[in-house]
């Protein structure tokens, strides 16, 4: 038990502060006293596919992944991006309803789903933790819906960046491609690219590497304002200045 607590602490305070996001987290694994195994994945590797039997639950030690659903007609919908400390892979169904894929080289710990369920069945405290965790995940998902109801691309992107900032703290290292962000926000990659350029021109963000992947937020108040009302920002594709 103390072993896992130590890891949990290291995870939470070491590199990044993270509001836990999904139905599984460090505390749960610790409370269930499950044996875990370490696994590694390379870029673009699939951790599990949609419809596959659900055997393990996972917690991320290092790297980033994306969680998505396949839709009728070859399309997919990216539900969220996962970072160290986040957990995934636990559902009621015995088969996965989503799929998870690595964005960078990844190290995860995996525990048997069956063992977790068995532990929860005889342990009301653990069940309660699971419920808490699912509730928080639900709140996160509804937050996401609210984000997607925002009508302007700038609003959505600003909210997305602020959320990442809160989770990753400080310098944001985007592990995903433009097209992933676009899919997640219900936009196109061209629009994402244009909005990034616009935010950079206005000195609200800055990319600090040549890959345009590592960025800092230079003017968070302005970004927060854009997140709630982008009406004095949104200009079209061209470079004309803001409306008066």
Partner DNA sequence: CGTGTAGTTGATGCTCCTCAATTTTTGTGG
Partner DNA sequence: CCACAAAAATTGAGGAGCATCAACTACACG
In the complex, the residues that contact a second copy under the rule CB under 8 A are 23, 69, 71-73, 77, 79, 91-92, 97-98, 120-125, 127-128, 130-132, 134-139, 141-142, 144-146, 148-151, 183-186, 228-229
Residue from 8, 115, 134, 187 that binds DNA (CB under 7 A)?
A: 187
Strand partners for 107? 40, 62
70 binds, among DNA, a second copy, none (CB under 5 to 8 A by kind): none
Strand partners for 95? 53
Q: Which of residues 140-159 bind DNA (CB under 7 A)?
A: 151-154
Determine, following the binding rule CB under 7 A, whether residue 186 of this chain makes contact with DNA: yes
Strand order in 65-70's β-sheet?
Answer: 46-48, 99-102, 65-70, 76-82
Strand partners for 205? 217
Q: What is the torsion angle, in degrees rounded to the nearest 10, for the CA atoms of residue 61, residue 48, residue 184 and residue 144?
A: -70
Q: What is the DSSP letter of 242?
A: P
Residue closer to a second copy, measured from CB, 128 or 203: 128
Element counts in the chain: helices (H) and strands (E): 8, 11
Instruction: Give the C-alpha separation, 144 to 195, whole Å.
Output: 19
Q: For DNA, what does the binding mask look like between residues 14 and 43, x meaning CB under 7 A?
A: ------------------------------
Minimum distance from residue 134 beta carbon to DNA (Å): 31
Q: Which residues bind DNA (CB under 7 A)?
A: 151-154, 177-179, 186-194, 196-197, 207, 210-213, 231, 234-239
């Amino acid at each position: 038990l103390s072993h896992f607590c130590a890891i949990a602490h290291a995870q939470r305070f070491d590199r990044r502060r993270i509001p836990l996001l999904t139905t599984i987290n460090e505390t749960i694994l610790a409370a269930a006293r499950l044996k875990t195994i370490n696994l590694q994945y390379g870029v673009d590797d699939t951790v599990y596919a949609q419809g596959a039997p659900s055997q393990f639950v996972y917690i991320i030690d290092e790297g980033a992944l994306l969680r998505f659903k396949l839709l009728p007609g070859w399309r997919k919908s990216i539900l969220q991006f996962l970072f160290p400390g986040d957990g995934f892979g636990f559902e009621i169904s015995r088969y996965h309803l989503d799929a998870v894929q690595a964005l960078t080289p990844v190290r995860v710990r995996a525990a048997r789903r069956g063992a977790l369920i068995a532990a929860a069945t005889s342990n009301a405290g653990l069940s309660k933790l699971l419920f808490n965790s699912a509730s928080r995940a639900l709140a996160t998902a509804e937050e996401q819906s609210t984000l997607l109801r925002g009508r302007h691309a700038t609003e959505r992107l600003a909210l997305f960046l602020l959320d990442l900032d809160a989770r990753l703290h400080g310098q944001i290292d985007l592990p995903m491609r433009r097209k992933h962000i676009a899919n997640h926000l219900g936009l196109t990659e061209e629009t994402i690219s244009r909005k990034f350029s616009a935010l950079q021109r206005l000195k609200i963000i800055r990319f600090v590497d040549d890959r345009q992947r590592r960025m800092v937020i230079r003017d968070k108040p302005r970004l927060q304002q854009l997140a709630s009302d982008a009406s004095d920002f949104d200009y079209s594709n061209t470079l004309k200045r803001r409306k008066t």
